[in-house]
Amino acid sequence: MPGHGPVGTKDDVRNVRDILSFFIEIGTRGYAEGVRDPIKLAYQTRFPEKWREYGEQERMVINLCSLWKELDPAYQMPGFHDLMCIAGEYHKFLEDCLRN
């Protein structure tokens, strides 16, 4: 991303594409299987091993909530501050998972 650190490589771009594809796949599959809470789905999902060391994995919550707005136009995404708190709690959850 411009302005967010060193210039990325083609592999970096591919990784971002693959991570976003992962979110879309997880979200659309979960929605098709009847999951109606993207936050609950985030807690049930684990990142593939190759991405475990990537930072800001709490963005899964934000990305799934954003995807949900496309899957279900009636979905009410949490407000910005609430979403940041939810993402923070999810971050703590992930840290606990890594320790155990």
Helix/strand/coil percent split, the chain, to 5: 65, 0, 35
Q: In angstroms, rounded to a whole number, what is the distance separating the alpha carbons of residues 68 and 74?
A: 9
User: Can you give the residue ranges of every domain in the chain?
Assistant: 10-99
Q: Spell 3-29 as b/e; 16+ CB within 10 A means b.
A: eeeeeeeeeeeeeeeebeebbeebbee
- Give per-residue pLDDT as tens, 14-56: 988 999 999 999 999 999 999 999 999 999 998 888 887 777 8
Q: How far apart are CA 18 and CA 31, in angstroms?
A: 20
Q: pTM (2 decimals)?
A: 0.85
